[in-house]
């Protein structure tokens, strides 16, 4: 088994602190749900916030406690819908567009993340195909949901997180047996190349 | 000195108003201070602090001291409410994502420290950071990870912010891994 690909400390810390763009945060959350090591790290980073709270200089409240007596105790109703089979639980709060073919054995569906600066979508590719060769001006963060792909930085399987920035230029090749389904958040503009890239372009820039 | 675990337990057990008032007096001004340190206005900080303590009242029965310390639990509630309130107009659902992650995937107790132990160790590791490193961690967590902003606030070069933050985070991790 290969070593799992995980986010940098800094990315996880920004996620823990609630400082990431919501689109990027959703992709990180899909990874955290699937990776025990990152979940453990996240608990530690939450504890950093507890330590900051303990050490902070208090600022006097303008008003005393609101009357809580009318407020029911207990868990709030779980209003979040049930997730589709095989989908990460953390995607439950979000809506999805339909799967749309964007090439031979490649399909894409939009993930609706209101207020996100990053564009979020899922990509499903058949065994053995090469994903479009591309460069971008922002970041592109990916969590593999099923199957695997491989590029010059290694093999990325279910649960792995692939953190690429503008300096990276890669051509992932999808696993020849399992295919690959992943969720991607992109910022900036994508510069796709080749015929597939030209087909993908208008869809990425929704 | 208050015992927040006992106060939260009293709220969960019997809706104890006095316990709630004591918890409010301790934590609400700290949550407000934390938000204001992060650049929030006094009004927004006050609102988040009020909402956070009301959520503590509502969720007291869900607090599990084995999972995290009271401070950590309250800090994460405040984080979620800050996001909800700050991104209200965009109908952000990010706080639901954090809640789902929190309820999902119970940790294997034998493989990891208890929440209270982990919190104590993180706290200890934080006190061992140099003042410079502590400040960078604090700014990053409270104001965001835009290094440009942090560099500007601290009037130090961008590269120094990056290396200081990276070093601080790896110190924290190192201290915890030694003890695992």
- Over residues B123-175, the pLDDT tens digits come to 999 999 999 999 999 988 988 888 888 888 888 998 898 899 998 988 888 87
Considering only CB atoms, which chain A residues are within 8 Å of B11?
A: 73
Residue ranges of A 17-46 with Cβ closer than 8 A to chain B = 17-19, 22, 25-26, 29, 32-33, 36, 39-44, 46
Q: Cβ–Cβ of B32/A58 closer than 8 Å?
A: yes
> Which chain A residue shows the shortest CA-CA distance from B87?
A115
Considering only CB atoms, which chain B residues are within 8 Å of A56?
A: 30, 33-34, 37
Cβ(B71)–Cβ(B119) below 8 Å: yes
A53 touches chain B (CB under 8 A): yes
A130 DSSP β-pair partners: A173
Nearest to A47 among B12, B57, B118 (CB): B118
Domain end, chosen from B81, B106, B131, is at B106
Residues B18 and B61 in one domain: yes
Q: Cβ–Cβ of A73/B12 closer than 8 Å?
A: yes
What pLDDT shows up at residue B173? Answer: 85
Cβ(A136)–Cβ(A166) below 8 Å: yes
Least confident of A25-29, A64-68, B42-46: A64-68
Q: How confident is the model at residue A74 (pLDDT cuts 50, 70, 90)?
A: low
Rounded to the nearest integer, the mean pLDDT of chain A is 85
How many Å lie between the alpha carbon of A144 and the closest alpha carbon of chain B? 17
Please state, in angstroms and rounded to a whole number, the distance separating the CA atoms of residues A131 and A159.
19
Residues B87 and B146 in one domain: no
Q: What is the largest CA-CA distance in chain B?
A: 54
Cβ(A115)–Cβ(B86) below 8 Å: no
Residues B10 and B88 in one domain: yes
The mean pLDDT value for A88-95 works out to 95
Least confident of A170-174, B48-52, B66-70, B82-86: A170-174
A138 or B112: whose pLDDT is higher?
Answer: A138
**Among A100, A140, A92, A99, which Cα is nearest to B101's?**
A92
Mutate to test the interface with A, among B41, B100, B173 (most CBs of A within 10 A): B100
Residues B102 and B139 in one domain: no
> Which chain A residue shows the shortest CA-CA distance from B108?
A36
Domain end, chosen from B106, B125, B158, is at B106
A120 or A190: whose pLDDT is higher?
Answer: A120
- The total number of structural domains that make up chain B: 2
Residues B169 and B125 in one domain: yes
How many Å lie between the alpha carbon of A46 and the closest alpha carbon of chain B? 6
A85 or A102: whose pLDDT is higher?
Answer: A102
What pLDDT shows up at residue A80? Answer: 52
What pLDDT shows up at residue A81? Answer: 59
Cβ(B119)–Cβ(B172) below 8 Å: no
Residues B123 and B46 in one domain: no
Residues B129 and B83 in one domain: no
Q: Strand A106-112 relative to strand A173-174: parallel, antiparallel, unpaired?
A: unpaired
Q: Cβ–Cβ of B31/A53 closer than 8 Å?
A: yes
Residues B86 and B164 in one domain: no
> Which chain A residue shows the shortest CA-CA distance from B93?
A93
- Domains of chain A with CATH codes: 1-59+87-206 (2.60.120.10)
How many Å lie between the alpha carbon of B110 and the closest alpha carbon of chain A? 13
Nearest to B169 among A10, A40, A66 (CB): A10
The mean pLDDT value for A147-170 works out to 87
> Which chain B residue shows the shortest CA-CA distance from A67?
B54
* Complex ipTM value: 0.92
Q: Which domain holds residue B29?
A: 4-106
Nearest to B122 among A13, A48, A68 (CB): A48
Domain end, chosen from B51, B78, B106, is at B106
Residues B87 and B142 in one domain: no
CATH of the domain at B163: 1.10.10.10
Please state, in angstroms and rounded to a whole number, the distance separating the CA atoms of residues A140 and A24.
9
> Which chain B residue shows the shortest CA-CA distance from A50?
B72
Say whether pLDDT at A144 is over 50.
yes
Segments in chain B forming alpha helices (H) = 4-14, 17-37, 42-59, 70-86, 94-103, 115-127, 131-143, 147-154, 158-179
Residues B8 and B67 in one domain: yes
CATH of the domain at B82: 1.10.1740.10
Considering only CB atoms, which chain A residues are within 8 Å of B180?
A: none
Residue ranges of A 155-184 with Cβ closer than 8 A to chain B = none
Q: What confidence tens digit (pLDDT) does each residue in B80-106 have? A: 999 998 888 888 999 999 999 988 655
- Cβ neighbors of B125 (< 8 A, separation 6 or more) are B171, B172, B175, B176
Considering only CB atoms, which chain A residues are within 8 Å of B144?
A: 14, 17, 19
Residues B43 and B116 in one domain: no
Q: What confidence tens digit (pLDDT) does each residue in A30-72 have? A: 999 999 999 989 999 999 999 999 999 999 999 888 776 666 6
Residues B101 and B16 in one domain: yes
Please state, in angstroms and rounded to a whole number, the distance separating the CA atoms of residues B37 and B140.
11
């Amino acid at each position: 088994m290969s070593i799992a690909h995980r986010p940098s400390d800094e990315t996880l810390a920004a996620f823990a602190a609630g400082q990431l763009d919501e689109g990027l945060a959703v992709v990180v959350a899909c990874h955290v749900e699937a990776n025990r090591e990152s979940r453990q790290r996240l608990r530690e980073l939450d504890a950093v916030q507890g330590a900051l709270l303990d050490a902070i200089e208090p600022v006097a409240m303008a008003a005393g406690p609101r009357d809580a007596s009318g407020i029911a105790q207990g868990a709030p109703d779980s209003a979040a819908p049930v997730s589709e089979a095989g989908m990460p639980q953390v995607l439950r709060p979000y809506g999805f567009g339909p799967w749309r073919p964007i090439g031979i054995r490649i399909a894409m569906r939009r993930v609706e993340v209101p207020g996100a600066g990053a564009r979020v979508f899922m990509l499903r590719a058949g065994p053995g195909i090469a994903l479009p060769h591309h460069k971008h001006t922002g970041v592109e963060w990916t969590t593999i949901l099923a199957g695997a792909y491989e590029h010059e930085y290694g093999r990325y399987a279910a649960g792995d997180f692939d953190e690429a920035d503008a300096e990276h230029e890669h051509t992932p090749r999808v696993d020849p047996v399992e295919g690959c389904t992943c969720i991607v958040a992109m910022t900036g503009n994508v510069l796709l190349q080749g015929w597939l890239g030209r087909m993908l372009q208008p869809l990425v820039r929704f | 000195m208050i015992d927040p675990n006992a106060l939260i337990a009293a709220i969960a057990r019997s809706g104890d108003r006095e316990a709630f008032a004591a918890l409010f007096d301790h934590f609400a001004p700290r949550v407000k201070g934390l938000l204001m340190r992060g650049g929030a206005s006094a009004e927004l900080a006050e609102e988040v602090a009020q909402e956070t303590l009301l959520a503590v009242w509502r969720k007291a029965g869900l607090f599990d001291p084995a999972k995290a310390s009271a401070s950590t639990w309250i800090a994460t509630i405040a984080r979620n409410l800050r996001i909800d309130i700050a991104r209200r107009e965009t109908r952000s659902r990010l706080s639901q994502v954090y809640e789902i992650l929190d309820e999902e995937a119970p940790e294997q107790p034998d493989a990891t420290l208890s929440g209270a132990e982990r919190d104590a160790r993180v706290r200890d590791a934080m006190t061992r950071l140099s003042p410079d490193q502590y400040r960078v961690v604090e700014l990053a967590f409270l104001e965001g990870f835009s290094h440009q902003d942090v560099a500007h606030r601290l009037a130090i070069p961008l590269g120094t912010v990056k290396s200081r933050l990276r070093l601080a985070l790896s110190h924290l991790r190192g201290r915890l891994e030694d003890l695992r």
